[in-house]
Amino acid sequence: MSYEENKAVPVVSIPRRVHQRLVATLFLAHGSLIAANVASFALMPIVATQMMGESAAGVPSTVGMVGRAAAGFPMGWMMDKLGRRFGLSLGYVVAIIGCLLAFFSLGWASFIGFCLGMFFLGAGRATSEQTRFVAAEITRKENRAKALGIVVAAGIVGGIGGPLIVPAAERIMLGWGFVAGSGAYGLSIALAVISLVLILTMLYPEPLLLSQIVQRAEDDEDPKTAQRNAASTRTFKEIMAEPRVMLAMSSLVIGQFVMVWLMVIMSVHMDKNNHDLAAITLVIAFHNAGMYAFSWAVGWVVERIGHVMTILSGTCILALSAIMAPLSVAFPNLAWSMFLVGLGWSFTYVAGSSLLSNSLSPNERSQIQGASESFLSIAGGVGSLGTGVIYASGGMPFVGTLGVVMSLVLLLFLGWYRLQPQVVAA
């Protein structure tokens, strides 16, 4: 019997300590896996260039994105059938396999093996991204955005912690006789193992069962919603046509596209305009801070002003960052532009994820949320591949202009949403 078929769940409250432990476990596991990704990301183009030449520099990251897009929906389906702990654990096992393949492929000088490792690591990352939804579903609706934002904030830990410990790991691996670059991927193995151990030992009781407890408590308070959830047999197409789901997906996908569109090309733009590596690294640090450092506060904002106004705020911030990017090549302007695009992404990401979770019945969540991760990865891949072409054609003014245009598209979605006659307050 699958978890979704288990109807014998007593209606009791989740103890606060249990809830805090579960959210903390999800935060740490996700943060550790992000650190594994970030630790390996910087070396991907270097390894590819050494093995196959400059033309292959972007291949491993693209393959990783394909793995991330491919894994989203099936992992969501599996988490519905076999439980959240099993699904997350399987995802982290896949990530470990990917890191191991990448690690040994360095010594074998196998480009195919290295790319296959990146595919599996991307699939593991797609699974780990579901931790924010697991935190949301074990939390009552009025506090859901805050719990989700806390888990998203794990990105700042992984984004900063991973790169900081790579040099020490590299020294250790070289001292043991491994080839150059092994430190980053050896570290990634260890971090992915930490994520797996955390989920196996600390993520209990099963979050899917706890989400049913939360749902039943909310159903008792709102019988009409309970009847609608119980009778929900919507197809994928019907779910995706629902206005709140469309707005949530638009917020996630367009926010991701604009963020990647501006971020990916920034290091090239700075290098072309004679900024040194230290300045480029600092701007990326500003960007990561904008993305993750305030996501917990964005969850609080969602609870205060609602999903629609939070998405609107994020849209305006994204547009402002795209306007700023071409204005000057001075370091302060570029740093603030990258900080703002990260912050705008945080607003659209947290609000969109929370709205999506609130728009789905319990038996719909994992598969649709998994599909959202696939859509995010596709948006990121298109943005990553396309921004270089546009930059080569017209420089940063063209890149910034398209960033503004895409922000306006999200603004149009917001306007369309407000005109829908059967929209529930969001």
Q: Which tens digits make up the pLDDT trace of 188-224?
A: 999 999 999 999 999 999 999 998 888 888 777 666 6
- pLDDT value at 363 more than 80: no
> How large is the C-alpha radius of gyration of the chain?
21
- pLDDT value at 265 more than 50: yes
Q: Tell me, what's the pLDDT at 11?
A: 46
Residues 314/385, Cβ–Cβ less than 8 Å:
no
User: Given the structure tokens 């076999």, which residue do they identify?
Assistant: 82
Tell whether the torsion through CA atoms of 31, 92, 252 and 217 is positive or negative.
Answer: negative
Q: What is the DSSP letter of 52?
A: H
> What is the average per-residue pLDDT within 160-186?
83
Residue 227: CB partners within 8 Å, gap ≥ 6?
A: none
- pLDDT value at 239 more than 80: yes
Domains along the chain with CATH numbers? 15-222 (1.20.1250.20), 234-418 (1.20.1250.20)
Residues 186/173, Cβ–Cβ less than 8 Å:
yes
Confidence of residue 165 (pLDDT cuts 50, 70, 90): confident
Residues 264/387, Cβ–Cβ less than 8 Å:
yes
Stretch (H or E) spanning 153: none
- The tokens for 17 are 């300590």
Burial class (CB in 10 A: 0-12, 13-18, 19+), 131: buried
pLDDT tens track for 94-148: 999 999 999 999 989 899 999 999 999 999 999 999 999 999 999 988 889 899 9
The maximal CA–CA distance of the chain, rounded, in angstroms, is 67
Distance between first and last Cα of the chain: 35
Mean pLDDT, all residues of the chain: 87
More confident call, 320 vs 389: 320
Residues 68/373, Cβ–Cβ less than 8 Å:
yes
> What is the average per-residue pLDDT within 262-274?
85
Q: Tell me, what's the pLDDT at 58?
A: 64
User: Given the structure tokens 């909310």, which residue do they identify?
Assistant: 218
pLDDT tens track for 389-409: 888 888 999 999 999 999 999
> What is the average per-residue pLDDT within 366-389?
85
What's the pTM?
Answer: 0.81
CA distance 189 to 169: 11
Q: Tell me, what's the pLDDT at 5?
A: 45
Identify the three-state secondary structure at position 327: coil
Q: Tell me, what's the pLDDT at 4?
A: 46
CA distance 122 to 61: 9
Does the bond joining 205 to the residue before it have cis omega, within 30 degrees of 0? yes
pLDDT tens track for 44-101: 767 877 888 756 666 787 788 889 889 988 888 888 888 999 999 999 999 999 999 9
Q: 306 in the Ramachandran plot: left (φ > 0), alpha (ψ -120 to 50) or beta?
A: left
Helices vs. strands in the chain: H and E counts, helices first: 18, 0
- The tokens for 362 are 């319990």
- The alpha-helical segments, DSSP class H, found in 273-364 are 277-288, 295-305, 307-324, 331-358
